[in-house]
Amino acid sequence: MENLMEFINKLNAYLWGPPMIVAFIGVGLFLAILSRFIQLRRFIRMWRETFVRTFRGESAGEGDISPFQAVNVALGGTVGVGNIAGVATAIAMGGPGAIFWMWVSGVLGMGTKFFEVALGIQYRAREPGGPMIGGPMMYISRGLGPSWRWLAFVFALFGALTAFGIGNMVQSNSVAEGLSYFHIPPWITGVGLLFFVGLVTIGGIQRIAHVAMFCVPFMCILYMLGALAIIMWNITSVPSVLTMIVQGAFQPTAAIGGFAGATIMQAIRYGIARGTFSNEAGLGSAPIAHATARTDHPVRQAFWGMMEVFIDTIIICTATALVIIITGAWRSGETGASLTIHGFSSLLGMKAGSAVVTFCMVLTAYDTNIAWCFYGETCAAYLLGHGRIVRYVYRFLWLPLVLVGAVIKPEMVWGIADALVGLMAIPNLIALVVLAPVVVRLIRNFEGVFSSSQNRIESQEIPVRGNSSFPD
């Protein structure tokens, strides 16, 4: 067992070390240049295509759920403990400068997620008697052709397995750990979580979407209100904090208090790694949810993908970082969720601060659990076919592990999950680079028709190298 754990740690050190960071940033920069930095060039357009259209009730095209519901499902799987504990860890290990590089990963990640979602819509297909199915396994097999099907199989295999770890057991353990502050036994947490997860997942994507549409905005608003209260209370310190973040990105941060100090490379590594882990841009998970959205053009939903990263990294992660730095909590020597609680407690008090952070962690972990159940079952359905049967069997296997994750200390589960997440990203990054010209054509098609003031936009015909049905 010790030898296995040692191997997993070495694998993770490599997967989430400089090579993977370079790959994520390199692909993000490549896609940004190819699209002429669409995340900046069409920033205003992004808002019009998302919240403005949602407010007007504009939703046309084929799909199972609304674009807003789809992004909430994706956000449910994305916004999680990484926004609370992950940001704190980045600052604890890399200093305030890590946040600058987290912003870099967020800006580039907006473009990466745009390409993922566009491809997810373009190459999706209807599962017989089931939902729309899309994601990397579909745009690899249908976009690149039968000779690349092995790569689609690799992604789907890692995706189906990863969900049990990072999306299930790790999340239920986080909930149990959070509620232990209130003296709730882990097994009670596990039973309760199993019940509520089962109520939602058994209903498939429709029920998941309805729950996510309530839980995700509620969590985001509650967490942001607490963070903004602390930031506004210390508003005069914000300019100096922003200066500290920028300076720390390009020069070492000296040891102070309980903070051990950080080099420039530490700031870069932890900022980019934690930012990527938080927004999941490049992992290939979110396109599975977005592929179920009703839309008349891939680019329309791709703007929601951009917005997803913006909300996750630029807004929520930044709010967490400002609270930790502005209150001086980053000098305490703490890390993870306890560091974030320390920051929130500076104004709200220990009881209120821990309650807000813990409740938000519980809610995000729950959202992540139900979202990743859909990701995992979709990958399994692609691998095995017979979608409806496979999906119910996967859910049956999913629920007991919710309870198991709550009552054990899953150090190995964390390690295995981290490794699988890294491995599932590799096929997706390859596909994004090879299929990038397809998205560029879709962008030109969308912008061309939009400029001509036509109301309905039809997707440009792009060859599909697999069958139009599922499985291909």
The rounded mean pLDDT for the chain is: 84
* Residue 411 pLDDT class (50, 70, 90 cuts): low
Q: How far is CA 57 from CA 53, 66, 67, 252, 293, in A?
A: 6, 10, 11, 50, 14
pLDDT of residue 365: 83
Residue 380 reports pLDDT greater than 50: yes
> Which pTM value belongs to this model?
0.89
Cβ atoms of 142 and 125 within 8 Å: the answer is yes
% of residues, the chain, pLDDT over 90: 35
Q: Is the pLDDT of residue 123 over 90?
A: yes
User: Mean pLDDT, to the nearest integer, of 195-201?
Assistant: 84
Answer yes or no: are the C-beta atoms of 80 and 364 closer than 8 Å.
yes
Q: Under CATH, what is the fold of the domain 16-57+66-448? A: Hydantoin permease (1.10.4160)
| pLDDT over threshold 70, residue 470 | no
Please report the pLDDT score of residue 453 as a whole number.
45
Q: Which residue has the higher pLDDT, 471 or 311?
A: 311
Q: What pLDDT digit, counting tens, does each position of 219-255 carry? A: 888 889 999 999 999 999 999 999 999 999 998 888 8
* Average pLDDT value for residue range 113-140: 90
pLDDT at 455: 47
Q: Is the pLDDT of residue 452 over 60?
A: no
Residues 102/324, Cβ–Cβ less than 8 Å: no
**In the prediction, which pLDDT does 203 show?**
77
- CA distances for 178 relative to 337, 355, 357, 381, 447, angstroms: 9, 9, 9, 33, 47
Cβ(304)–Cβ(71) under 8 Å?
yes
More confident residue, 364 or 78: 364
CA pair distance 103, 315, nearest whole angstrom? 10
The beta strand positions in 80-211, using DSSP E, are 125-126, 132-133
Q: Stretch 152-177: mean pLDDT, rounded?
A: 86
- The answer to whether residue 469 scores a pLDDT higher than 60 is no
Out of 56-60, 320-324, 466-470, least confident range: 466-470
* Boundaries of every domain in the chain: 16-57+66-448
Mean pLDDT, range 171-193, rounded to an integer: 82
Taking a C-beta distance cutoff of 8 angstroms, is the pair 136, 155 a contact?
A: yes
* Cα–Cα distance for residue pair 119/165, rounded to 1 Å: 26
Peptide bond into 471 cis (omega under 30): yes
Residue 458 has pLDDT above 70, yes or no: no
pLDDT for the residue 348: 80
> What is the spatial distance between Cα 244 and Cα 287, in angstroms, rounded to a whole number?
36
The torsion angles phi and psi of 170, rounded to 5 degrees, stand at: -65, -40
